[in-house]
Amino acid sequence: MVDDGSLWLQQRGDHLFALTELTVNVSLDEAFLKRTLQLSAPALRFFGRDAAALALQENHLLLILRLREINADSVCEQLESLLNQRDVWQSMLQQQRNKAVTHGAVPLHSLAFLPRGNHG
């Protein structure tokens, strides 16, 4: 556990990967996953080649990062990057969830109570 989230290492062949789980309090239906994948582009633009891969495993969202360098300092930097990415993803997914909840149908008569010019 690191910063209240799981983090583990996994060896596959000659490569070492760091994995962390994203905490999402909604069902991972197709619509949610589609919206989540649309958030991948900003993550790739910001983190570039160090962007973690988003994966669905047994109804859990994971971030997976291949550790390119195995010396202690580099591993610490890469793990820090993965945890930062996890925090960003958590924040984006929470905003996405809140946006979906708050942008429900609004009765037209309620718009009459909004300040002038602020009708959506």
Q: What is the DSSP string of the chain?
A: -BTTB-EEEEEETTEEEEEEEE---S---HHHHHHHHHTHHHHHHHHGGGPPEEEEETTEEEEEEEES--SHHHHHHHHHHHHHHHHHHHHHHHHHHHHHHHTS---GGGGGGSPTT---
Q: Binning pLDDT at 50, 70 and 90, where does residue 7 land?
A: very high
Domain ranges of the chain: 7-103
Q: Residue holding tokens 């997976």?
A: 64
User: Is 119:111 a contact under the CB 8 Å cutoff?
Assistant: yes
Q: Binning pLDDT at 50, 70 and 90, where does residue 2 land?
A: confident
Q: Binning pLDDT at 50, 70 and 90, where does residue 39 land?
A: confident
pTM of the model: 0.75
User: Is 81:74 a contact under the CB 8 Å cutoff?
Assistant: no
Between 74 and 96, whose confidence is greater?
74
The CATH fold assigned to 7-103 is: Yope Regulator; Chain: A, (3.30.1460)
Q: Binning pLDDT at 50, 70 and 90, where does residue 117 land?
A: low
Between 25 and 87, whose confidence is greater?
87
pLDDT of residue 104 exceeding 80, the answer is: no
Task: Pull the structure tokens for residue 90.
Answer: 């958590």
Identify any residues that bridge with 7 across adjacent strands, giving them in sequence order. 20
Question: Per-residue pLDDT averaged across 89-107, rounded?
Answer: 68
pLDDT for 19: 98
